[in-house]
Amino acid sequence: MGIYQKLLQIQTELKAPKSQYNNFGKYSYRSCEDILEALKPILARANATVVISDEIVNIANRFYIKATAKIIDTETGEQIEAAAFAREEESKKGMDGSQVTGSSSSYARKYALNGLFAIDDTKNSDYSNNQNEPKEAPKPPRKPSVNQNQTNKAAVLSPEVSDMMNKGICNLKNKFGIKIEQILKDIEATTGIKKADISDFNAPKVFNAIGRLEQKYKSENNQVSNY
């Protein structure tokens, strides 16, 4: 069995329930640790292992943690990998520097695993950096609402990721004098992702696009100045 067949088998077998609960946001979520614990017995049966690594990258003058999750076939050495990003805040209330980096790393690692093992996190927002949340998720009754679909869709993009993205876009606007509407159009043209469809899951593609657009706008400005 090749590495792609093994990955397909693992993706099919993997069940990582959202066993954590955020009392403030009133939603359930899964952590990186939850995914890894669910993966271990399946990886053992498939004769494969997972390695996760971090690195710090600079995108649009912002520092991000880039996490790479890699599945390795222990029989052949074949590998498949996926990456995800999380911005490292300069400071965060109640956290020291190492905790800020650690929370960004955990977030990026989780979404790298999501991408590699086809884990869908779009049903509700599950962003949380609080490792002290209770592990048993209560199941409060949900009240039907006419705008339920809109609420679920809006919850896909967590406030913190939205704030990171907004700052990156505003940085391009202020640096190059380009209207936000045009920047959003360029992001859509680069990624194929419309503004209404941006989520935590596809946010890394948007951050990459912001970085590429900065280089594009800078090149265009240099060409204009040379005339």
Q: What is the pLDDT of residues 65-122, one digit of tens each?
A: 899 999 999 999 999 999 988 876 655 555 555 666 777 888 889 989 988 998 876 5
Among 127, 187, 119, 131, which residue's Cα sits nearest to residue 162? 127
When mean pLDDT is compared across 30-34, 142-146, 219-223, the lowest value belongs to: 142-146
Residue with the bigger pLDDT between 22 and 56: it is 56
d(CA 35, CA 31): 7
Asked if residue 60 lies in contact with residue 172, where contact means CB atoms within 8 angstroms, the answer is: yes
SS3 of residue 27 by DSSP: strand
pTM recorded for the entire structure: 0.51
Cβ within 8 Å of residue 202, ≥6 positions away? 191, 193
Neighbours of 77 (CB within 10 A): 8
Residue with the larger pLDDT of the pair 39 and 87: 39
